[in-house]
Structure 1
Amino acid sequence: MSINGRKSLIILVFGSALAACTTSNDKSDITAAKPNGPVAIDRGVAAFRDICFAHKAPYTESYAAAARYGVKKFQTKEGSSWLSGKYMYSEGATDDQSLIVGINPKGLCTVRDRRRPDMADDSTIEKQFAAVIHSRYPLADKLHANSVSYTTVENWKTINFGFAFDYHGYNMFSSPL
């Protein structure tokens, strides 16, 4: 076979392959696929990791970490619960109230991040939260299949980490419960 014949054969095979491909102007069934690569960590999960999870009670270093997220002016507040009675805690927020940090020096630190349209979906946020918990406590597990609370035991002490959607439109992350 001559060189021109090979070129013709290659063009014929290539052209047939292209002809087998179809295109459509109907875009009704085309959906944008999510990228397969890593998803950036959610702001609330990152704030929880850096403010609450990175430190232990009394969380004195957490105030500086919160400032890096734009949380300003912590105010001392009083709360009460049926189980623990009255307690004091500090709460600070960003100027737009989209990120709120609560610190109880006796053992509870919470981060509330306002839900917004550009957030990752709920399952992605939950997976990121679980990854943060498992980075230090690989045996931490959910209490129930539907739960978003992770529990582990360290030095005979139960440690709980919570993740919830509150009725004010925030994702809430807490360490430890």
Structure 2
Amino acid sequence: MTRWLLFIPLAVTLAMGVLFWIGLGKEDKDALPSPLVGQPFPSFEAKALLSGEAISAASLPAKPMLVNVWATWCPTCKAEHAFLNQLAKQGITIVGINYKDDDAKAREWLKAYGDPYDFNISDPDGKLGLELGVYGAPETFLVDSQGTIRGKHIGDLNTRVWQKLQPQFEAMK
């Protein structure tokens, strides 16, 4: 009579395993909400990667733009770079933030793979990235002409992702 009680822990463990397995597929891995959406781009003091001149949030262009967080140590950044070059050729304004990287390596990288950016912000210690809530590279922010963050994408920017983001970007014009 009490032998069946021995199977209760096994049944409970199996039930928990099934619920865990079902729950794994439910999350939306593309949705990490940013508290900065709808907020102004954070103020910052930094230097331009190529020229070394001092820049700040006032240096950002007063037009819709993509702000792309990238690094030479990031393999996904290399994968998205060709697509960023295509967007730049289409006239999309892109500002880069070189995140937690060596400036000399970043300049060499841009020379080797092309430079789609209007300018790059050097962020070697990740201070600006921290202000933006960056999880890692690459991340891309949609910023309107008033300097307000309108959207954020974590991961590489590619044709499939751009098809989703482009209407939002076009609406900012």
Q: Give the structure-1-normalised TM-score.
A: 0.23
Bigger radius of gyration: 1
RCO (CA 8 Å, sep 6+): is it higher in 1 or 2? 2
Higher strand proportion = 1
Higher helix proportion = 2
Q: Give the structure-2-normalised TM-score.
A: 0.23
